[in-house]
Amino acid sequence: MNVVDDEGRRVPLPATVRRVVSLVPSLTEAVGVTEPGLLVGATDWCTHPDDLDDHGVTRVRGTKNPDIDTIVALAPDVVLANAEENKPAELEKLRAAGLAVYVTDIRTVDGALRSLERVLAACGLDRPAWLDGARAAWDSLLLPDHPRRAVVPIWRRPWMAVGSDTFTGSVLARLGIENVLGDSPERYPRFDPADLPAHDLVVLPDEPYRFTADDGPEAFDAPSALVSGRLLTWYGPSLLEAAHVLPEALAADETAAT
């Protein structure tokens, strides 16, 4: 069976997929929640579902430096990857070893919902209830009466933020929040907190940098909202929770943790 991934590449798969290695935390959660028995390998950064180790899932290092030999030894029917998360050279090594690699490319909320349905179908799975719920939840969101302008730091020392063409930027836009660095030529530009466009909100996630009430808000004049990085940047089953939690969390007028 040949399927086509998000990059337009044909991926040869067996008629029945029984063994999946995921190199992307969001995709690990998507498969693990839908059919946990399929996963045989996942990265060290894959934290959801929280019972992966109980199911005997083998850890294959990180998203950028996967353990090729371990993955090959697991003999997966398909390796799930992402155009942003994983390095093309590492994926080519897996293909050269004879493995099928399915690559997703997710940059918007709607794109995530469509891509997740395709990748789960490639694994032989029907569209799960959580995906229908996430689609309904995002489609029912109403834009706020007073749109906000936000900066979204993802690192400090040096300061880096969400820029253009990102899934996180799409999440914010669907919540009626404009990313003030959304027209940057870079997806994750460096910036100086003292030299930012006008904004009235600072969104501080707890990953990849773990911002806290004592580490981050003090660098900005605008109110800050501390939010779950998983809800802001992941695109698996967390999409359903994000649609319910983020609107209230990002409406905060003072620093608050969620």
- pLDDT computed for residue 258 by the predictor: 38
pLDDT at 255: 42
| Whole-prediction pTM | 0.93
pLDDT for 252 equals 61
2-127 fold? Rossmann fold (3.40.50)
Is residue 35 packed enough to be buried (19+ CB in 10 Å), middle (13-18) or exposed (0-12)? middle
Give the right CATH number for 143-249 from 3.40.640.10, 3.40.47.10, 3.20.20.70, 3.40.50.1980.
3.40.50.1980
Q: What is residue 25's three-state secondary structure?
A: helix
CA distance 133 to 1: 29
- H helix intervals, 35-108: 68-73, 88-96
Is it true that 2-127 and 143-249 share their CATH fold?
yes
pLDDT along the chain (258 residues), means of 10: 94 97 98 96 97 95 98 98 97 98 97 98 96 97 88 97 97 96 97 96 97 97 96 96 95 50
What confidence score (pLDDT) does residue 254 get?
42
Tokens of 242: 């994000």
Task: Spell out a b/e string for 44-69, using b for 16 or more CB atoms within 10 Å of the CB, else e.
Answer: ebbebbeebeeeebbebeebeebbbe
pLDDT tens sequence across 161-176: 999 999 999 999 999 9
Token reading at 79: 């390796």
Largest CA distance in the chain: 57
Domain ranges of the chain: 2-127, 143-249
